[in-house]
Structure 1
Amino acid sequence: MRRLLNTLYVTTPDAYLACEGENVLVKADDQTKFRIPIHNLEGIITFGYAGASPALMRLCCERGVAFSFLSSSGYFLGRVTGKAHGNVLLRRQQYRWADNDETTLRLSKRFIVSKILNSRVCIQRALRDHEEKIESNELVSAVNILKRLAEEVRNVNNIDLLRGIEGEAARIYFGCLDTMILAQKDEFFFHERIKRPPTDNVNALLSFLYTILSHDVEAALESVGLDPQVGYLHRDRPGRSSLALDMMEEFRSYLVDRMVLSLINRRQINGKGFIKKESEAVIMTDETKKLVLTEWQKRKKEEITHPYLDEKIPIGLLPYAQALLMARHIRGDLDDYPPFFWK
């Protein structure tokens, strides 16, 4: 298992990124504000307008450091990567599998079962941790329905039916999210998932962190030699990282939703950290972004015993571990792909 490295998040709008030897520099007002050796990084993510020197982008490509550009609200704009790594035969097999309906359905079912059961655990954790504060009837009902839907997935023989079950499970799960928000209800409420653009504080948080997660999953897939754009559950679309979106389904509730609930319920953030624009879109202030990203980095350093590998790894390496298992399965080293199940 590889070592967990850092991701550099740049939220200062007028920052300029450059390099000096093997060091990444963050400059503002003609001064170097931050310096870090390139070998300590696995990724760089910038928010808003942040210029970058061609020399730095070349260095990132040579060292395998993913460099992503996001808008100030967290919308993905583009990514700089180096040469594709890994055995070309692995990618060729990945493409063949994507054209095979039976294999596509089988792997899609793995992603969806993991998503549904991990969503179920998120609700169960809320019931366990806040037994005295939470209204339990709705959540207990949702737990039972999600269990039934996960069992239905096993017998599905059509990808469209599978997507239908996924949609129903998402509706049940997100219908519980507002009940699991126990603090600051006037400022943090959730009625439905709204993506482009998010129009309330909770959706803004979810969209922001889902984008960060997608960067990590995409980088993990590339690091093991897989093509993030060719997936199984999500249809091919120019510019869309379908396999990264497939694998993200396993982590959404465990890594993002749980963290969003914690940030709100522990009052680590408040409504003053969000701005509603004339377009009705809600964005976070720079201070809130920095706080959320700091907590995200802390979360990634926590350790978990991987349910399949049965070894302790930093949570931040979960996308890499799953990408590695997927690559091994496609190469034929594993009979099936074992998705991540939250216990």
Structure 2
Amino acid sequence: MSEYCQGIYYKCGNASTESEKTGIFQGLNRKYLGYRFEEKNKKILIKKEKKAYRSVYRDWYTTGIQRVDSNYHLINEGILTKRDFNVLFESNEGKKYIPVEATDALFIYSNVIITGGFLEFMNQVGLNVCLIDKYGEKIGSFVPQNNRRNIKTELKQLRIYDSETERLAMARKIEIAGISNIRANLRYYERRKTSKELQENVDVMSACIKQMNEAKSINELMLIEAQARQRYYQCFNYILDNKDFHFEKRTRRPPQDSINAMISFGNTLLYQRIANEINRTSLDIRIGIIHAAGSRQESLNLDLADLFKPILVDRAIFTLINRKVISSSDFIEVENNGIYLSKSGKKAFIKEFENKIYQKVKIDGIDRTYDYIIKREIQNLKREIETGEVYKPYKYV
């Protein structure tokens, strides 16, 4: 036994003393179960490994899976099954293992067969699964039961929702910040294009913010927001530099042109990303502030998404079109004049959307990604609900 006291060894092979069937190998300078064993000055040191930083991958696998940070996007049709302690995705183009310990969510965009026990396994490992249809609209999602929902926090959310004064005050802050971010977007492109129309609509957004400060109800706030967003959409053609893309009006279910298809798809990605983060806190996603709580399964993520749509979704669209990354061949026309992104279009959009998510901006003098900002936004809102600490919605400067 003295030989084993000087190091850590690993024995493999059959339980036999015959040399041809047994191998003994030194196990130093390796990691086991989160610990590293090293030899220094004839002593064995055991160190706990720091959790590795999750790399961000933006390249597509041949199996139609894209990994970005801790999210996997499944574009191709195939079969999802539990294999040992991982997820296996099989399609006509091959097999791909998805490591659940490094995954937060699966986004499924095609017809995928889920085998028995798969969702039970997702619940065990705490992994969110979101299903998105061909139009970019969310079909539904699987949220693990072992989330952090807290009845005390839910009751505080309900109290704010039931208080006309408190709910209006919080909704006003969020709506004003959302329109401020639209105004900042218009200013950003006005400086680069010197467009009189963009400058005029900057002034319109400022007027809308003034009206919101004077609004007496949630419905009045939402009406002003809808009017402001309609004027904002009219500015898209002054921002876009590609004659193949022209925007007339917002259409949904189905989107009836390529820009509407990208708006719907991008909004769905943003809604789900925020939903995943909310479901990791004690907040109840069903109880919104601006959007009414009722039969809708998700409301709070819709409220917070309005802050980030101009910066993340809309700018992704402008970049893809103006840099000619995406073209008319990346869209498919279907029944009822519907238009949706093809597989190649979805790949291009997801890649650019995630580029925006990991773009860095200065927050209190520190470079932060929008992934960080979204998580911080949810925590700041949670603190106001639970402790009364004043919540200041994010404003792009």
Residue of 237, 246, 260 corresponding to 1:189: 246
- 1:218-233 equivalent positions in 2, closer than 5 A: 218-233=275-290
Tell whether 2:228 aligns with 1:161: no
- 1:214-293 equivalent positions in 2, closer than 5 A: 214-293=271-350
- 1:304 is paired with a residue whose SS is strand
CA deviations on 1:96-151 (whole Å, 9 max, x unpaired) are 211111111111111211111100111111112334xxxx1111110011012112
Tell whether 2:391 aligns with 1:337: yes
Partner residue, 1:174: 233
User: Hey, what's the Cα distance between the residues in 2 that align with 1:150 and 1:158?
Assistant: 15
Tell whether 2:121 aligns with 1:59: yes
Counterpart code for 1:341: K
Structure 1 residues 111 and 237, CA gap change in structure 2 (3 angstroms): same
User: Hey, what's the Cα distance between the residues in 1 that align with 2:135 and 2:84?
Assistant: 32
User: Hey, what's the Cα distance between the residues in 1 that align with 2:307 and 2:128?
Assistant: 22
CA deviations on 1:231-263 (whole Å, 9 max, x unpaired) are 011112323411111111101101100110111
Partner residue, 1:321: 376
- 2:337 is paired with a residue whose SS is coil
- 1:64-79 equivalent positions in 2, closer than 5 A: 64-79=126-141
State percent identity of aligned pairs: 22
Q: Could you tell me how far 1:54 is from its partner in structure 2?
A: 4.0
Tell whether 2:152 aligns with 1:98: no
Residues 135 and 254 of structure 2 are in contact (CA less than 8 Å); yes or no, is this contact kept in structure 1? no
CA deviations on 1:59-79 (whole Å, 9 max, x unpaired) are 322333211111122221111
Structure with more of its chain in strand, by fraction: 2
Residues 149 and 284 of structure 2 are in contact (CA less than 8 Å); yes or no, is this contact kept in structure 1? no
Structure 1 alignment gaps of length 5 or more? none
- Name which one, 1 or 2, has greater alpha-carbon Rg: 2
TM-score, normalised to structure 2, is 0.79
Residues 71 and 106 of structure 2 are in contact (CA less than 8 Å); yes or no, is this contact kept in structure 1? yes
User: Hey, what's the Cα distance between the residues in 2 that align with 1:86 and 1:229?
Assistant: 11
Structure 2 alignment gaps of length 5 or more? 1-52, 55-68
Q: Could you tell me how far 1:333 is from its partner in structure 2?
A: 5.1
Q: Could you tell me how far 1:311 is from its partner in structure 2?
A: 4.2
Structure with more of its chain in helix, by fraction: 1
Residue of 140, 144, 148 corresponding to 2:207: 148
Tell whether 2:24 aligns with 1:24: no
- 1:250 is paired with a residue whose SS is helix
Count the aligned residue pairs: 330
Structure 1 residues 40 and 302, CA gap change in structure 2 (3 angstroms): farther
Tell whether 2:151 aligns with 1:88: yes
Moved more, 280-289 or 95-104: 95-104
Partner residue, 1:108: 171
Structure 1 residues 154 and 50, CA gap change in structure 2 (3 angstroms): same
Partner residue, 1:8: 72
Residues 299 and 316 of structure 1 are in contact (CA less than 8 Å); yes or no, is this contact kept in structure 2? no
TM-score, normalised to structure 1, is 0.91
Q: Which has the higher contact order (CA 8 A, sep 6+)?
A: 1
Residues 255 and 339 of structure 2 are in contact (CA less than 8 Å); yes or no, is this contact kept in structure 1? yes
- 1:77 is paired with a residue whose SS is strand
Counterpart code for 1:212: L
